[in-house]
Structure 1
Amino acid sequence: MFRSPEEGTKMTHLNTKESILRFLEEHGYDVQQSEEDILVVKDEDGIPLYLMVGDEQVEFMLDLCGVDELDPERREEAYEKILDENTEILPTCFGIDSTNPQDKRIVLVDSLALENLDPNEMLLSLDSIYMNVLTAHKLLSPYFKEKRRD
């Protein structure tokens, strides 16, 4: 039978920005508050992951590269590759952040509902995003513009 926390069963839910921040710090992540509802989380390699904590969900976004960094003649092929890869890297997926229309970014994203978010879900999502960074860079590297040698 379900017992409420008042009856002696302590249930850990990560349903506030403060509880998420405390949890991440306890697990060794470097966490900074960027804006009111945005946390910048860095793993042991210093890779920044942005967490947007809303009323109902937490959204994760990791910047991979600018769309303009891709070879324009091969951009469509790159998009096809990352869309195809979306079926393989669940629960994480590729997206395009167009917050700044002059600097659209290719990102890895995920989101979780806050209502019953437990620590295992949070760790799974973080691990998934960070593990997929290497996959993403391997996938995108053939499509980057050639660098000039001066």
Structure 2
Amino acid sequence: MNDTDEAIEKFVGNTRADFDEERLSDSKRAVDKFFEELPLQTGLGNDRILFVLDGMRPQLYDPGTGMKANGSYFDLMRKYFMEVAVKKGYEVIDMQPAFIEKHDSEGMRFEFPTDGHWNEIGHNLVAEKIKASAVYSKFLRH
């Protein structure tokens, strides 16, 4: 196993893949507090806020590696964040399925070779998804 393969197994979403119950519990409390404070701090209704969640890159490019990322800290926290957001009436765009579909059909990657930030392809795909969102449509009507 080379250093890159080892990093892909140890890290998902630029954070350690492993976790203990304390880390998971603390993180869930932070998400809960975030959603408690969000309307108070922004003064916005849930129909005016859109969340875009990144996929599990680079794991999503390979089905085998992607399966290994399932159950990681990043995976569990993505799912928890989405679950809470939807339950509270926020719109959420999960980029994981869109990234996988585009990568599988066109072989595209969504980050720069030298860092994990979205490249032009990633940003364009995210922009397409945002344009198709209910929150964006609402802004166009005003």
TM-score (norm 1): 0.28
Structure with bigger strand share is 1
Task: Please report the TM-score for the alignment, with normalisation by the length of structure 2.
Answer: 0.29
- Compare CA radii of gyration and give the structure with the larger one: 1
Answer 1 or 2: which has greater helix percent.
Answer: 2
